[in-house]
Amino acid sequence: MMHRQNSDWSSDPASTTNASHSSIERIVWTDDNDNHRIHQKKTSFAWYWCFKCCIVGSLVAGIGLAIILTFWLTSKTAATETSPQVPVRQVRVRQALVQLAVRQALVQVQVRQAQVRVQEAQVPVQQALVQVPVRQALAQVQQAQVQQAQVPVRQVQVQQAPVHQRTTTTAATTASITSNTCTSGWTGVTILYHCTNCTTIHPYAYYSYTYVAIATLTRISFSFREDNGCFAIDTVSVRSTAAPTVELISNNDFETGSFSSWTYCNPNGASAAGKVYHSLFCVSYTLTPKSGSYFYYDGAVGNNDYLSQQFTTVIGQSYNVSFWLFNDAGGGTSSADILLSV
């Protein structure tokens, strides 16, 4: 069997031409692609080396910059170290002086703190030392208070003793007295106390009497003369034995500072006559109250003056009459009369 054999060379010139043309185009395209690849490779290689050179250059530049900075800093430090040493030494000296001053200040503070602690430690000792005399003083004060508390008891005992106390019991008796404008009309006179050229009575002497009333109204009177001295009377008292807590004399201790409730009479105008005083220096002594703040003074010169007060009584009833008397006698003419009348 006969087969038709194909040949690369066709009898048709057009087909042969077309085939040749296609082969040539393929070859041309292949060359173009190769050229393109080669160009791309060259371009990539160039860029690779360019990038690599940039990196290397950057590294070299950085290293160079670092070296330059190092040298620059080193040269600056060296320049600083090689600069003149005098200012640096002065600064160091000043710093040393400052540190020394600070240390001295700290030492002074510590010393002061130590002194304060010592003083604080001494305070309890001083307080303890102070407490000793304080306690002793308190003990003395307590003893003094006890003694003062005992004084009134002792005074009461002294009043009962006959040293300065004159106790007299009298009945109503008639006595004659000098008649003048002050004594006119006085009757039933009872003299409780009388003296002429009276002696000094110092300190105050306590006198008490018992009187039996002869009328419903009774008068107590004090008559003094002391040419060269002073009398003083304080705490005059009249009390019924039936009611011993009731005082019948008003302003009996002169604490009003005046003659209130009393009648004063100076018939002949004697000088240095009776007054109410708080304190008065006489001849040898300073006159003061027996108690309270005021007393009655009398230093009438040349003639007697009178101080009187009336009080209600019950006929036949007994009364206790008392007073405190002081006399700073100066050696001249003197007299004293203390009496009751109606």
Q: What confidence score (pLDDT) does residue 25 get? A: 55
The band of 309, judged by pLDDT with boundaries at 50, 70 and 90, is very high
Lowest-confidence region among 154-168, 174-188, 220-234: 154-168
Q: List the structure tokens of 233.
A: 């009377």
The band of 5, judged by pLDDT with boundaries at 50, 70 and 90, is very low
Mind listing the pLDDT tens digit for each residue in 23-59? 555 555 555 666 666 666 666 667 777 777 778 777 8
Q: What confidence score (pLDDT) does residue 94 get? A: 76
Taking Cα atoms as reference points, which of 185, 214, 207 lies closest to residue 321? Answer: 207
Q: Where are the domains of the chain?
A: 30-76, 96-161, 165-341
What value does the mean pLDDT take over residues 111-140? 63
Question: Does residue 172 register a pLDDT over 90?
Answer: no
* Three-state SS sequence of the chain: CCCCCCCCCCCCHHHHHHHHHHHHHHHHHHHHHHHHHHHHHHHHHHHHHHHHHHHHHHHHHHHHHHHHHHHHHHHHHHHHHCCCCHHHHHHHHHHHHHHHHHHHHHHHHHHHHHHHHHHHHHHHHHHHHHHHHHHHHHHHHHHHHHHHHHHHHHHHHHHHCCCCEEEEEECCCCCCCCCCCCCCCCCCCEEEEEEECCCCEEEEEEEEEEEECCCCEEEEEEEEEECCCEEEEEEEEEEECCECCCCCCCCCCCCCCCCCCCEEECCCCCECCCEEECCEECCCCEECCCCCCCEEEECCECCCEEEEEEEECCCCCEEEEEEEEEEECCCCCEEEEEEEEC
Question: Does residue 335 register a pLDDT over 90?
Answer: yes
What value does the mean pLDDT take over residues 166-177? 53
As a whole-number percent, the residues of the chain with pLDDT over 90 amount to: 47
Mind listing the pLDDT tens digit for each residue in 264-281? 999 999 999 999 999 999
Question: Does residue 67 register a pLDDT over 80?
Answer: yes
Q: Are 283 and 259 in contact (CB under 8 A)?
A: no
What value does the mean pLDDT take over residues 50-79? 75
Lowest-confidence region among 51-60, 75-84, 290-299, 309-318: 75-84
Indicate the average pLDDT of the chain. Answer: 77
Q: What confidence score (pLDDT) does residue 135 get? A: 66
Mind listing the pLDDT tens digit for each residue in 81-98? 544 444 566 767 677 777
